[in-house]
Structure 1
Amino acid sequence: MNDSSKTKDPGVPKSGNRRSGKGHKVRLRIPAKTKPIRRQMTRDLSAQVIQKAWFSHADKMIFQLLKLTICAAEFCVTYDILKKVSPLEAKLVKDPSMKCKVRFRFSGERFPPFIVFKIFLHTEGRGYKYFSGRNLLKPSSEAVVDACKMMGKNKFYHQVLEDEHLFQKLKVTDEIDIVTMQDYMQYSSLLDEIPASSGGRNNGWRKLSLENIPRTMIMYDIVDYAESGVISNRLQKEMKCLSQKPKTEEMRQQQLRIVSEIRCPSFLSIQPSCRPYQKQTQVKHLGRRSKQAQMKVEKMKKAYLAKEKKASEVTEPKMDTADTKGSHLLHPIF
């Protein structure tokens, strides 16, 4: 016979704990106080997701506008921008014999990036040749005097002091100072580090600030929007066309034309520096006078009115007597 204790009853669980079975689901009762907290947490998470999506959309829009700005600056209005940055370099770029090219790029470690530019000289595979006024112009020549007049005394003295400072620091800053091969290598590396304005070969990228962009172009509004986050009315009107991805070349050219087009400033939005003329009845009293000053003005006004009244009473009898005298004189003649 089988033991009764080994019989299995399908309706009864093995242990006394009913929640230990695999088929049973555990339901926890959440207190009523924690429900508003959970709702608030879900709302905060939803707000963070929406905010993140909106910031991503705004960053993409700013990058698209800045990309259009770079393309318009490189292909359409290079001379207008360089004329504000450096008029002398703008003349070189405009000269067809120099064959200069200007490139605009993005730079920076944070978003939004800032715009930098560099001027290249196309030599058609003939190599580069650097000219330094310090090496070509002799100190006793008239060319140095003319260079001093063109540069200005302050800039000329600043250049001389900079050269002296480099000489005191490195001791090898000119071809005359080269004695050994080590001096030549040191002088060559120094020329690579010194900018072109100081006679070196370092043609680095230069930052394009907001002051170097003409205000009459939408490029100025785009850069200002990227830096400050405030969109202008002029840019807001063209935002629908500029924010779209150019599907055709005609659409791309239209966007570049909108960005680089020179427009007259709206005179309605400009406030006059002086106040317009107003009649005496339209001018409002500021009400900043004290009671004592107001009383003094009232007394002066009463005294002035009384004086005018007396003067009118005195002039009226004189006119009457003059009329009577004239009548007596004229009467015998008639």
Structure 2
Amino acid sequence: MSHSLKVPVTGVPKSDNPHLGKGHKVHLSNTVKTKEKQQNKDVSAHIIQKAWLSHLDKTVFQLLKHTICAAEHHVTHEILKKVSPLEAELAKDPCMKCKVRFRFSGEIFPPFIVFKIFLHTEGHGYKYFSGKKFLKPSSEAEADAYKIMGRKKFYHQIKEDERLFQKFKITDDIDVVTLKDYMQYSSHLDEIPASSGGRNNCWRRLSLENIPRTMIMYDIVDYAESGIISKRLKKEMKYLLQRPKTEEMRQHQLRIVSEVRSPLSLSSLQPLYRPYQQQSQIRHLGRRSKQALMKVEKMKRAYKMAKEKMLLWGLNQKWTYQVQSRKRQLSSPPHLLTL
């Protein structure tokens, strides 16, 4: 009979604790569960953060929407007066029948506000006078324009016209074929400057400096740009964020945004400097070094010595003047002394 011999394996160390493998598995499972819980917490926090940021963006957009409506219906002249006083006076003329439109623009959130002036002619149309249309090629007027403008400026204008044509393809009346071409041509005239034959009436950005500070409209735009909310906007925000149920409520919200508030009193503002009396009352805290104290004492002694020298010099001058005046009196003739 053959007996099988058990050969001991010396390459693998034998553990003294028979329950070590089982405990190690339990520890690994607990670690995996802890990591999964942490990942779930991170995902939940990310979802909450995303929802909160979305809520803030909706709030800012709603406030900016109120700002645009209030600017277009209530305070158009005040805003345009800050941007361009001449255009404001022209738009105020009832004969011009101008309308200022506001809208959002920009590639990132929050958007910025732009405006544009439109002229309503009630179907009669309007005509812009431009040298580009009246000066025909190979004419005497064009030769005179060449002499007045100079060669460099004249050729630069020709190159600019060619560049615009290569970019937009519709830059003149003869290029218009369909209604779409006419709309593109009209928009193109608004964009290019008057020196190139355009209207120079493009969409312009409305900055924070163009909005009156006495209106909540200013606080809304400032909040959208900087993220800092003012006290008066915080006070009215709850009502402004409500969805208007009636037209009266909507108009009331717009009036709140465009209402002129009293400016802040100067007494509530703290000055950037301290009066001299308050500066003398300030106590300097902390220890001074020995060198600083010695320097202060040295400056005090120098100041006292200079003051004493000035005092002695003044007394000396006074005594000298008295002696000289006494000598003049004694040396004068007797008849002058009697007088």
Range with greater deviation from structure 2 (187-196 or 258-267): 187-196
Following superposition, the deviation at residue 183 of structure 1 comes to 8.7
Shift of 1:234: 2.5
Equivalent residue pairs, number: 253
Residue 130, structure 1, aligned to residue 121, structure 2: no
The answer to whether residue 183 in structure 2 is matched with residue 167 in structure 1 is: no
Taking the aligned partners of 1:93 and 1:294, their CA distance within structure 2 comes to: 68
Of all paired residues, the percent bearing the same amino acid is 59
Name the structure 2 match of 1:283: 282
Stretch of structure 1 that moved more, 292-301 or 49-58? 292-301
- Once the two structures are superposed, residues 177-199 of structure 1 have per-residue CA deviations (whole angstroms, 9 ceiling, x without a partner) of xxxxx997479969944635434
* Displacement of 1:71: 0.4
Question: How many Å separate the matches in 1 of 2:199 and 2:277?
Answer: 64
Taking only aligned residues, the RMSD between alpha carbons, in angstroms, comes to 4.0
Q: Distance in 1 between matches of 2:98 and 2:214?
A: 26
Asked whether the equivalents of residues 191 and 200 of structure 1 are also in contact (C-alpha less than 8 Å), the reply is no
Task: Give the partner amino acid of 1:59.
Answer: D
Alpha-carbon contact 1:74-1:103 (below 8 Å) kept: yes
Whether the aligned pair in 1 keeps the contact of 2:75 and 2:258 (CA below 8 Å) is yes
Deviation for aligned residue 1:121: 0.7
Q: Distance in 2 between matches of 1:261 and 1:240?
A: 17
Partner of residue 210 from structure 1, selected from 200, 205, 208: 208
Task: Using structure 1 for the length normalisation, give the TM-score.
Answer: 0.63
Alpha-carbon separation, structure 2, partners of 1:100 and 1:54: 42
The Cα offsets for residues 32-77 of structure 1, whole Å up to 9 and x where unpaired, read as 2222212211111110111111011111111100000000000000
Query: Hey, what's the Cα distance between the residues in 1 that align with 2:293 and 2:43?
Result: 62
What is the CA–CA distance in structure 2 between the aligned matches of 1:83 and 1:121, rounded to whole Å?
A: 18
Q: Are the structure 2 counterparts of residues 183 and 197 from structure 1 closer, same or farther at C-alpha, using a change threshold of 3 Å?
A: closer
Question: What stretches of structure 2 of length at least 5 have no aligned partner?
Answer: 1-24, 135-148, 165-170, 177-181, 310-339
Check conservation: 1:191, 1:201, Cα contact below 8 A: no
- The aligned counterpart of 2:321 is none
How has the CA–CA distance of structure 1 residues 39 and 133 changed in structure 2, closer, same or farther, with 3 Å as cutoff? same
8 A Cα contact 1:191 1:202, kept in partner: no
CA contact under 8 A between 2:211 and 2:218: conserved in structure 1?
yes
Q: Is the 8 A contact 2:194 2:200 kept in 1?
A: no
Assess if the C-alpha contact under 8 Å between 2:217 and 2:257 holds in 1. yes
Quick one: distance in 2 between partners of 1:264 and 1:197? 41
Distance 1:264 1:162 in 2: 52
Q: Distance in 1 between matches of 2:163 and 2:250?
A: 53
SS across alignment from 1:223: helix
Q: Which amino acid aligns with 2:192?
A: P
Instruction: Please tell me whether the aligned partners of residues 172 and 186 of structure 1 are also in contact (alpha carbons under 8 angstroms).
Output: no
How far apart are the structure 2 equivalents of 1:86 and 1:211? 12
The answer (yes or no) to whether the contact 1:102–1:117 under 8 Å persists in 2 is: yes
- In 2, the alpha carbon distance for the partners of 1:44 and 1:265 equals 46
What residue is the counterpart of 2:271 in the other structure? 272
Question: Are the equivalent residues in 2 in contact too, given 1:172–1:183 (CA < 8 A)?
Answer: no
Out of 119, 122, 126, the residue aligned to residue 121 of structure 1 is 119
- Distance, in Å, in 2 between the alignment partners of 1:191 and 1:57 is 36
Distance 1:280 1:204 in 2: 55
Contact 2:77 2:88 (C-alpha < 8 Å) held by counterparts: yes
Question: Is the alpha carbon distance of 1:183 and 1:59 closer, same or farther for their aligned partners in structure 2, counting shifts above 3 Å?
Answer: closer
CA deviation vs aligned residue, 1:199-254 (integer Å, no higher than 9, x gap): 41463222212221122211111111112222222221221111211112222122
Assess, with a 3 A threshold, how the Cα gap between structure 1 residues 276 and 256 changes in structure 2: closer, same or farther.
farther
Deviation of 1:117 after TM superposition, in Å, equals 1.0
**Residues 179-198 of structure 1 correspond to what in structure 2 (within 5 A)?**
185=174, 192-193=188-189, 195=192, 197-198=194-195
Contact 1:104 1:117 in 2 (8 A): yes
Q: Which amino acid aligns with 1:250?
A: E
Give me the whole-angstrom Cα distance separating, in 1, the residues matched to 2:280 and 2:69.
Answer: 57
Q: Sort the Cα spacing of 1:190 and 1:298 in 2 relative to 1 into closer, same or farther, 3 A.
A: same
* Runs of 5+ unmatched residues, structure 1: 1-27, 137-157, 174-181, 308-334
What residue number does 1:72 align with?
70
Q: Is the 8 A contact 1:100 1:120 kept in 2?
A: yes
